[in-house]
Structure 1
């Protein structure tokens, strides 16, 4: 791994990189509550084929971490990574997981000239996800943690007992056996940087997504779906035991991605990148060709 610093829209962002810079770039976007190091297992599998670039996104790790919820709107987050894609020599292949998938979708939808291929791993397009969360059904119930995170002071609660509450949320109904020893110490170091946990949670506070109470569907305003299309080739990799993002959260995705392939991985959950990095890499290589 080689560390690198980038200046994006006037601010400093840290990234971890793997592979030869002359290879085609693969922009790797982490989710919550991870950081750039989350991509290490997959990057080591792919570094012979790609120049893997995994930034700490805004509010995370060693990157720019401004105050104020308004600094974490998805459009702003996507603009950060659009600038990085340009510096890497766009168009680039983009892969995103969890919240990183939301930024990756934003890049593909609003900066299509910068994205040659889109790969999502257990992440969701905003329209199917919003419909599922507003329905009052299973995804609404599974997403109640979002409302909890949005509460004032949630970052202080999650940091208690050496981040014990955050780890409890992180592992709810899922396999966290990969997060031990030095890897766990590294995560705690990143979470413990000044202001970072608040910055991370501000992604949730800035989001306009509505989470209905279970059994109480919410009527949604009409959305202009014409602006939310993915025109490049799109691969979705899905760990089927994910208890935070249920399969219903991707229902109807094909209406937003004409060139879509879905690959399901049984026996893996939301943290499939850590549990089955080799299999994810194999699927990705086959799809890319």
Structure 2
């Protein structure tokens, strides 16, 4: 079905979202990561919209949503989750599965913990909830979290075109399969004046997510939502141990480690779409 590009007003912000599929069909909410936006899900939405209702919002500071200055908006993962939560309320969504990637995981697990009765299942694509998934990539972040007065300027290297290209292509067996248009779009938004302060605020706040891992694991053990992990096993940001760890709390979790990097949809779209379709069918069995 045709994609719709919409905006809803939430908390004084314009929140952009992509929507496709029949609203009466089972809903899948897709939550994007850094440094991208709902554009990451454009093709997957197209693959699944024949049977499912898809909603993919952009967070404040990302994509086509409002991007207030860091001094004017408290950029924390709690705040982003609040906006997404109210967006889904404004759209009248009361029952849905989640598809989370990267930053989408801490936002999605906050929603799941708040509203366990709404969650039909969780698809995690390199969306971490365990210390086991944190690779040495995070060492400079951990140093900063341990000393809030430290100079964060070194982390600005993650906002460069080279870093964005690395995220898309590292660990990919054939980089020629990666469409460069998305990384170009992502970089254009990263380069907006003042966006570096927005992203540094979220880098600093990521420590709050790690502190919440035990609570999210308790949510998984208590509520046992069906879980599908479709994980790029060559990811050096969130390693494959983070995918395997879900089975410790949800023993029947479906774990698929794919020959891909941090953005497995870029090279494994058909496989992931099929796995996601089968998983969503199982939720209604």
Alignment TM-score > 0.5, same fold: yes
Give the alignment partner of residue 220 of structure 2, picking from 229, 233, 249.
229
Residue 166 in 1 paired to residue 163 in 2?
yes
Per-residue deviation at 1:180?
Answer: 4.6
> For the structure 1 residues 252 and 69, does the alpha-carbon distance in structure 2 shift closer, same or farther, using more than 3 Å as the test?
farther
After superposing the two structures, state which structure 1 stretch, 66-75 or 222-231, moved more. Answer: 222-231
Residue 208 in 1 paired to residue 207 in 2?
yes
After superposing the two structures, state which structure 1 stretch, 111-120 or 62-71, moved more. Answer: 62-71
Per-residue deviation at 1:88?
Answer: 4.0
> For the structure 1 residues 255 and 10, does the alpha-carbon distance in structure 2 shift closer, same or farther, using more than 3 Å as the test?
farther
SS in 1 for 2:220: coil
The answer as to whether partners of 1:235 and 1:260 remain within 8 angstroms in 2 is yes
The answer as to whether partners of 2:16 and 2:65 remain within 8 angstroms in 1 is yes
Residue 241 in 1 paired to residue 234 in 2?
yes
Q: Which residue of 1 aligns with 2:148?
A: none
SS in 2 for 1:117: strand
> For the structure 1 residues 13 and 195, does the alpha-carbon distance in structure 2 shift closer, same or farther, using more than 3 Å as the test?
farther
> For the structure 1 residues 201 and 20, does the alpha-carbon distance in structure 2 shift closer, same or farther, using more than 3 Å as the test?
farther
Question: 1: CA distance between counterparts of 2:213 and 2:45?
Answer: 40
> For the structure 1 residues 157 and 245, does the alpha-carbon distance in structure 2 shift closer, same or farther, using more than 3 Å as the test?
closer
Per-residue deviation at 1:100?
Answer: 0.8
Residue 199 in 1 paired to residue 213 in 2?
no
SS in 1 for 2:250: coil
Residue 62 in 1 paired to residue 64 in 2?
yes
CA RMSD of aligned residues (A): 3.3
TM-score by length of 1: 0.78
Give the alignment partner of residue 75 of structure 2, picking from 60, 72, 77.
72
The within-5 A match list for 1:71-110 is: 71-86=74-89, 87-110=91-114
Question: 1: CA distance between counterparts of 2:213 and 2:264?
Answer: 34
Residue 254 in 1 paired to residue 257 in 2?
no
Q: Which residue of 2 aligns with 1:215?
A: none
Per-residue deviation at 1:196?
Answer: 3.1
Q: Which residue of 2 aligns with 1:39?
A: 41
After superposing the two structures, state which structure 1 stretch, 46-55 or 26-35, moved more. Answer: 46-55
TM-score by length of 2: 0.79
Q: Which residue of 2 aligns with 1:16?
A: 18
Question: 1: CA distance between counterparts of 2:93 and 2:212?
Answer: 38
> For the structure 1 residues 200 and 113, does the alpha-carbon distance in structure 2 shift closer, same or farther, using more than 3 Å as the test?
farther
The answer as to whether partners of 2:21 and 2:52 remain within 8 angstroms in 1 is yes
Gaps of 5+ in 1: 134-138, 212-219
Question: 2: CA distance between counterparts of 1:111 and 1:97?
Answer: 19
The answer as to whether partners of 1:122 and 1:245 remain within 8 angstroms in 2 is yes
> For the structure 1 residues 35 and 223, does the alpha-carbon distance in structure 2 shift closer, same or farther, using more than 3 Å as the test?
closer
SS in 2 for 1:229: helix
> For the structure 1 residues 202 and 168, does the alpha-carbon distance in structure 2 shift closer, same or farther, using more than 3 Å as the test?
same
**Number of aligned residue pairs:** 268
Q: Which residue of 2 aligns with 1:271?
A: 263
> For the structure 1 residues 143 and 198, does the alpha-carbon distance in structure 2 shift closer, same or farther, using more than 3 Å as the test?
same
Q: Which residue of 2 aligns with 1:152?
A: 152
> For the structure 1 residues 31 and 227, does the alpha-carbon distance in structure 2 shift closer, same or farther, using more than 3 Å as the test?
same
The answer as to whether partners of 1:107 and 1:114 remain within 8 angstroms in 2 is no
Per-residue deviation at 1:12?
Answer: 1.8
SS in 1 for 2:123: strand
Per-residue deviation at 1:84?
Answer: 2.4
After superposing the two structures, state which structure 1 stretch, 180-189 or 32-41, moved more. Answer: 180-189
